[in-house]
Amino acid sequence: MQSISNDKSTLLVLSANDQISLEQLVEKYRAYLSGNTVPIKDIAYTLGARRDHMQFRTFGIVSSGSFNCATMTKCGPILLPVFIFTGQGAQWPEMGKGLMADYDSFREDIRNMDETLSQLKHAPLWTIEGMILDSC
């Protein structure tokens, strides 16, 4: 079990909903770490993987009994991952047909893209939906 007195450096990530709360959190960790022999790796894991990452963030390095933090930053909005369908069918030639049939949101997105393409000055004579449904 690694402790604060160990010479190995450990990264701690901290976050809060506002700057004042984050400053207070940093001070609480600084006080806690200076007065205890604690399992630093467990704290680092919990802060990095088991806590929500709020808008105001910083990180600190615990090394040789000291805890030094970087400048605090305010992050932008959290972006959600999206699904990208290339239409190439490398995994399954009729994957697009299945997506069109099973997922209303996918079908609506394809139709919205077709609508946008149709408004171009040199609009294509084909549609994405038509290409997907006519494949194979």
Backbone region of residue 29 per phi and psi (left: phi > 0; alpha: psi in -120 to 50; beta: other values): alpha
Report field, pTM of the whole predicted structure over 0.85 = no
| Tokens 């194979």 sit on residue | 136
pLDDT at residue number 44:
93
Model confidence pLDDT, tens digit, residues 28-73: 998 888 877 778 899 999 999 999 889 999 999 998 778 889 988 9
The top-level CATH class assigned to 10-74 is alpha beta
Give tens-digit pLDDT for 76-133. Answer: 876 777 777 666 655 666 788 888 899 999 999 999 999 999 999 999 999 999 988 8
Q: How many helices (H) and strands (E) does the chain have?
A: 5, 4
Q: Where are the domains of the chain?
A: 10-74, 95-134
Q: For the chain, give the mean pLDDT.
A: 84
DSSP assignment of 43-86 equals HHHHHHHSS---SEEEEEEEETTEEEEPPPEE--PPPPP-----
